[in-house]
Amino acid sequence: MSFTLGDLWLISAPNEGSPQETWDKLNRTTGNMSCNYKFSVPDLKVGTLDQLVGLSDDLAKLDAAAEQVTRKLVQYFADVLEDERDKLQENLVVGGKDLKTFVTKFQWEGAKYPLKQSLKVLSDIIGKQITQIDNDLKTKSSTYNNLKNSLASIDRRATGSLLTKDLSEIVKADDFILNSEYLQTLLVVVPKTLAKEWQQKYETLSDMVVPGSSHLITEDSDQILFSVTLFKKVIDEYKTHCRENKFIVRDFVYDEESLKVGRNERDKLVQEKQRQYAPLVRWLKINFGEIFSAFVHVKALRLFVESVLRYGLPVNFQAALIEPNKNSHKKLRTLLHNLYLHLDASAASPIEAIEDNPTLMSLGMHDYYPYVFFKMNIDFVETKR
């Protein structure tokens, strides 16, 4: 069995004696192998056996969905924070509590999930909440991503090669013959290796080229941007002959108003991104708290349902949240196996025999123990470390 940072074990065992005696026995057995916390599960409405069996499968799917949406939201939160993503962890709080504090001091939120409701209704309430947050996340991320992508596209055009980059910030009005009925200035990208050839040929690539009109505008490591002025009637012919000589004519017409609009467009996008940023971060922070709380409540529901199915009625079990110490997982698992082995004779094999047996593992036995067990990983920023 593999474990990652943030793994917590949620278990339950029937009370043998008082709840405190069951708790003390667990603590004595695990010793210094783990930190144990009582996990508070309220008295929920049990319903029928058929309902419990059906809910067991439904809650497993709901558990997976809750974790998936939580991780998706955290991933997007990190993307939104960009250069400040090191502040992600401090923003992942639930009701002002960090994640570990919330789960180790978990209290059922009766206002959101009323105890008078059936287990099925509680499951449906949480399911709708998860779906709503997921849908809202898709909508908000789509809007903000479109804004970011538009801005990134403008910035890419400003930083590419001379063949593709936006020329509006490079050229000026003096580089062009403007408002002429007959003449037009073209911008031509010439490989540096062909610069001399350009100077020799540009006047003769077609008729009606203004002699001496080629001027170097700018250059990068590979290419040079030249201007050249000619009569409008020969532009198509000139472009064709340029292409034949590996000179690339840029499709650019100098227009002051259009350039001003282009510059203003980026400024507006930057301002709009800044305007949306704070409300989006606030929404992500609030809804992380909501989705994580829902995730833990699903775990509590699963623990309750499985405990009733496993141990029967009346409801009388002790739930615990166990934080295994580093490098103690396997030994701790053995201690728990031996402590609760008497609860289920079908689990009589040593824990090592199950985990080392491929056939049993393939049948799902790696998740079956004589006590109710669920793993809870609360490290939602592990991929960002």
Query: Do 145 and 179 share a domain, yes or no?
Result: no
Query: Do 292 and 371 share a domain, yes or no?
Result: yes
Mean pLDDT per 10-residue interval, the chain, length 385 residues: 66 94 95 93 93 95 98 97 94 95 96 96 98 98 95 84 88 93 97 97 96 96 96 97 97 84 86 96 98 98 96 94 92 94 71 52 61 94 56
Residue 161 lies in a domain: no
DSSP three-state, residue 22: helix
Q: Residue 158's pLDDT is what?
A: 79
- Alpha carbons 185 and 213: distance in angstroms, whole number: 9
Q: Residue 198's pLDDT is what?
A: 98
Per-residue H/E/C for 273-286: HHHHHHHHHHHHHH
pLDDT in tens, 341-354: 998 866 555 555 54
Q: What is the DSSP string of 55-116?
A: HHHHHHHHHHHHHHHHHHHHHHHHHHHGGGGGGHHHH-EETTEEHHHHHHT----TTTS-TT
Q: Residue 145's pLDDT is what?
A: 96
Expressed as residue numbers, the domain containing 223 is 173-253
Q: Residue 382's pLDDT is what?
A: 63
Q: What is the number of domains present in the chain? A: 2
Q: Residue 154's pLDDT is what?
A: 85
Of the three residues 220, 253, 286, the one that is the final residue of a domain is 253
CATH code, domain with 229: 3.30.70.100
- Alpha carbons 373 and 378: distance in angstroms, whole number: 16
Query: Do 19 and 76 share a domain, yes or no?
Result: yes
Q: Residue 292's pLDDT is what?
A: 98
pTM of the model as a whole: 0.80
Of the three residues 253, 285, 306, the one that is the final residue of a domain is 253
Query: Do 193 and 308 share a domain, yes or no?
Result: no
pLDDT in tens, 122-132: 999 999 999 99
